[in-house]
Amino acid sequence: MIDLEFLTLGQVIEKGAESAPAKTAVVCEKDRKTYKEMNDLVDALAAGLAGLGILKGDRIAIYMHNSIELMTAFYALEKLGVIVAWVNPLYRQTEAEFILKNSEARGVFIFREWEGYDYLEAISGIRDSLLNLEFIFMAGEGGGEKVFEFEQLVEQGKKQTYTPPSIDTKNDLAMLIYTSGTTGRPKGAMITHYQAVRAGMEYSYGINARSDDIFIGFLPVSHSYGCGAILIQPLLLHSTVVLMDKFDPLSAFRIIEEEKITIQLGAPAHYIIELNQPFRKDYDLTSLRAGMIAGQPAPEGLIMKIEEEMGVYITSFWGASEVGPGLGIRCPYPAPLHVREKYIGKPIEGTEARIVDTATGERVPDGEIGELTLRGWHVLKGYWRNPEETKKQIVDGWLFMGDLVSREKNGYFKIYGRNKDLINRGGYKIYPYELESLIIDHPKVEQICIVATPNPVLGENICACVIPMEGHTLTLGEIRDFLEGKIAQNKFPNELCIMKDFPMLSGGVKIKKFGKGGLAEMAKNDRNREGHRK
């Protein structure tokens, strides 16, 4: 049994190297690293960073896709007691700039290019505005002046030594996981070493994950779910993880067959796409034994369909960046199918959950729907440099999540949705204000309001409701082109409704988004709404 109380994240990789040095720890495309090789690589990078003056408590951003380089950077920084500021690799210049400024990052790890986006150019373009940014660490060649190449830093570190600092696992921060709040501005959830390590282990209890399991890792590890389940859990268990830089069903099938994958962690959209893939039967997927599903509520019948058609034990759970990089409620293993189909589970060990009235804050009886609140070791220490939002979301030690949940008499929790107007598209959370504040600058747009409409695979579409400038016509393609390079493409509207007026609440000031006659209903029923088919 692993003692998690005093285990730092940096020691996770060390324990693996001690216990299973020759075992494969991580696979990424053709590159395979054993636990000893990974730990040696991590130590070399840590020494190279220490030689540059990187210190405990510094913030360093990781702005990379899933890769061995990302994993090496993460564990090297954690060995040094550095606080990792996560930046989603799908983010573009404006989004990355906010996180780098807010975290006051001294450095950032990037690849030169991925998926046609030049990260070096993006960071170089905002470098002058980032007063704290001293270092750009880049994987690959051709960085130029003031850019430290990843490989050279590792080689330099092999000739150096460093002394790991003392780390208080329950108080020293390991990472900032950025999430959107009620203002639409990202907030950095402060997570300690103990929270991150124990959260990684908590995932395993939902699927009985063991050291002989082989994980497939297509979830972005910059996200809370991917970080805990893919970046930490497999190495904590001394398992093997096969990384993918992005999800593709045929590539996933090939990897499952070739690497004999036993565990797959994903969102409902991933499983729906796999089930609908006509070539699935061409691959031997029989090694796959279990998986978890989260990011959005699983559609009714999906878990049963996955088990029937793929023979995989699937369980859902509830998690958030605020209890990251982990989960707050899950079904214990093994649980009957009818339980996993209906409920998200029970609070994890050492934590509490209660359901309160959204208006009064008073606890509601079992069976009634209210807002989910949590208390325990897994709750974030607060939002980085944002005491106002911290006080708003953590009241008397209870974390208020804005999710509508009920606690049934059998002790299991059932989720119904959210009481905020965040859009959940395939597990990615999109805040309307962020889009609206950009689209309103389009020369043909007079008024803009973003709402969700149903999507059978991804859960929700992002629908832009627009009142055009008089005398102008507007297409969805024009809006998407206008947003190019400003925000991540997964946030682009994929539907457009052209309107003459917006419905208003009494008083005529606020737009009526929800309810009968609300904008969301109008958009859903608009037969003329334009959709993006790609």
Tell me the CATH class for 423-531: alpha beta
Nearest residue to 429 (alpha-carbon basis) of 404, 450, 398? 450
Sheet of 147-149: strand order equals 147-149, 135-139, 107-111, 59-63, 83-86, 173-180, 186-192
Does residue 403 sit in helix, strand or coil? Answer: strand
CA distance 490 to 247: 13
Which residues have a Cβ under 8 Å from the Cβ of 266 and sit 6 or more positions away? Answer: 218, 219, 247, 291, 292, 293, 295
- Rounded to an integer, what distance in angstroms lies between the CA atom of residue 243 and that of residue 67? 6
CATH topology of domain 9-19+30-190: Rossmann fold (3.40.50)
Contact of 132 with 106, CB cutoff 8 Å: yes
pLDDT tens digit string along 177-207? 998 643 457 899 999 999 999 999 999 999 9
263-322 pLDDT, tens digit each: 999 988 899 889 989 999 999 999 999 999 998 778 778 899 999 999 999 999 999 999
pTM for this model (two decimals): 0.85
Q: Tokens in use for 274?
A: 């796999």
In whole angstroms, what is the distance from residue 172 CA to residue 154 CA? Answer: 26
pLDDT in tens, the chain (534 residues): 578 999 999 999 999 999 999 999 999 999 999 999 999 999 999 999 999 999 999 999 999 999 999 999 999 999 999 999 999 999 999 999 999 999 999 999 999 999 999 999 999 999 999 999 999 999 988 777 789 999 999 999 999 999 999 999 999 999 999 986 434 578 999 999 999 999 999 999 999 999 999 999 999 999 999 999 999 999 999 999 999 999 999 999 999 999 999 999 998 889 988 998 999 999 999 999 999 999 877 877 889 999 999 999 999 999 999 998 999 999 999 999 999 999 999 999 999 999 999 889 999 999 998 899 999 999 999 999 999 999 999 999 999 988 888 999 999 999 876 666 678 888 887 877 778 878 988 999 988 889 999 999 999 999 999 999 889 999 999 999 999 999 999 999 999 999 998 886 543 345 787 778 889 999 999 988 888 654
Residue 173 burial by CB count (10 A; 0-12/13-18/19+): exposed, middle or buried? buried
Under a CB-based contact definition with an 8 Å cutoff, are residues 61 and 186 in contact?
no
User: What residues does each domain of the chain span?
Assistant: 9-19+30-190, 423-531
The pLDDT of residue 506:
41
